[in-house]
């Protein structure tokens, strides 16, 4: 029995997230999209012949940091410094996440001063995440995790298959 990604995705939880109108969940979803955008477009911009390369490297680093912010489970399984873990744990509220995404978007908008590249898409994606978290803050919505990915403690999580694949 091979593992597939659909065994880990909770479609009922996804629909529940969409109907919840909790903007912190929407911000988290765009955070996942931003991880992909930051890394992919950061790598794509490493092939320019001007200073945009520096912003491409910054974009890759931003994608990795967003990954650790949006998937806190990785903080437990990856060997990281205590300083980095404390830095990531500061962003557990909608307000701090909104400011964090806004600051990262400003950095990527600065890359447009050198040359308008695909990093503009990264900046726009980071701005959208910042806006979602800001709306959640102004509506006094509590920060909530998405139910898009199944919880390993759920009964329908594929335990035996995971162990078999690891062996």
- 59-98 pLDDT, tens digit per residue, is 999 999 999 998 888 888 888 888 988 898 888 888 999 9
pLDDT of 44 over the 90 cut: yes
- 125-147 pLDDT, tens digit per residue, is 999 999 999 999 998 887 665 55
CA separation for the pair 122, 40 (Å, rounded): 10
Measured N-to-C along each axis, helices 82-89 and 52-70 cross at an angle, to the nearest 10 degrees, of: 80
DSSP state of 49: S
pLDDT band at 1 (very low <50, low <70, confident <90, very high): very low
CA separation for the pair 148, 130 (Å, rounded): 20
Nearest-5° angle of CA 129, CA 131, CA 134?
Answer: 110
Q: Mean pLDDT highest for which of 6-15, 17-26, 43-52?
A: 43-52
Domain boundaries, the chain: 27-144
Kindly report the pTM of this predicted structure. 0.77
């Amino acid at each position: 029995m091979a593992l597939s990604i659909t065994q880990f995705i909770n479609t009922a939880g996804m629909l529940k997230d969409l109907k919840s109108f909790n903007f912190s969940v929407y911000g988290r979803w765009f955070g996942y999209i931003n991880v992909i955008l930051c890394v992919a477009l950061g790598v794509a911009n490493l092939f320019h012949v001007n200073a945009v390369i520096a912003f491409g490297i910054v974009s890759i680093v931003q994608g990795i940091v967003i990954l650790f912010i949006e998937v806190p489970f990785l903080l437990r399984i990856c060997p990281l410094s205590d300083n980095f873990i404390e830095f990531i744990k500061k962003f557990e509220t909608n307000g701090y996440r909104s400011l964090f995404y806004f600051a990262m978007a400003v950095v990527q908008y600065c890359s447009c001063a050198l040359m308008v590249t695909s990093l503009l898409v990264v900046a726009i994606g980071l701005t959208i995440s910042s806006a979602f978290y800001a709306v959640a803050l102004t509506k006094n919505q509590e920060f909530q995790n998405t139910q898009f990915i199944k919880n390993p403690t759920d009964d329908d999580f594929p335990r035996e298959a995971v162990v078999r694949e690891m062996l």
